[in-house]
Amino acid sequence: MKRVLAPRALAGMLASMLCVAACPVARAADNSAVERRAVTFNHAQTNYMLHCGGCHGTLGLSPPHSVPLLRGQAGWLVCDAQGRAYVDGLPNVTRASLSDADLADVLNFVIFTLGATPGSVHAAPFTAREVGVMRAAPESTVPLHLRRQQAVERIIKVCGAPQSLLDYKPM
C-alpha cells in the first residue's frame, strides 16, 4: 500500500530539510574533510520548534492555505492594539503547554526575530504577566478567520502593512 503524507507532515519534512541544508558547514583547508557544526537553538527557539514549527514550519514558512506565514510578516500584528489582541487570543497560543514566561519568550522570538517587520520596531515585547492575563480572559466569540481578517485589514490601513498579508485564505 502506498503511503501518502498529509500536507502538514510534508511541509514539516521539507522545512526541516531546508533547515539542515542551511546549517553552516566549515571545510578543512584541503577540502578533503568536512566538519559539520551543530546548530544550536536558544530556549525560545527550541520551544518554537517543539510547539509551533510543525505547522508554521521550522523557518516560519508554512505551505499556502494551511496556516499563516510567520517569517517576515508576524511583526506587523503588534503594530497596533487590535493586532496584538489577535495574537494574544489565538487558541494555539493561549492553550500552549508552556509557562507564561516561556510562551512570552516564544511570542517575542516569533514577532521580533522570525517575523520581524517595520511594524514590530516600536512594539513592546510580550511579558509573562501579559501572557498570564490573556490566558485568563475568555476567548472571543468571533470566528478566528474573521478576527484575523479584521486585524490584518486594520494594520494595513493604520500601519502600512503590505496587502499580501491578506493572501492567506484558509481552505
Tens of pLDDT, residues 123-164 = 999 999 999 998 887 667 788 888 889 999 999 999 999 998
In a domain, 19, yes or no: no
Number of domains in the chain: 1
In a domain, 29, yes or no: no
Least confident interval from 16-30, 66-80, 116-130: 16-30
In a domain, 50, yes or no: yes
Question: 57-79 b/e with 16+ CB inside 10 Å = b?
Answer: bbbbbbbeebbbbbbebbbbbbb
H/E run at residue 130 = helix 128-136
Q: What is the dihedral of CA 74, 75, 76, 78, to 10 degrees?
A: 110
Least confident interval from 27-31, 40-44, 105-109, 149-153: 27-31
In a domain, 20, yes or no: no
In a domain, 52, yes or no: yes
Which CATH number fits the domain that encloses residue 63? 1.10.760.10
> Residue 50: which domain range?
41-165
Does the pLDDT of residue 25 top 50, yes or no? no
In a domain, 171, yes or no: no
Does the pLDDT of residue 12 top 60, yes or no? no
In a domain, 15, yes or no: no
The one-letter amino acid code at 121 reads V
In a domain, 148, yes or no: yes
Q: Write down the pLDDT at residue 131.
A: 92
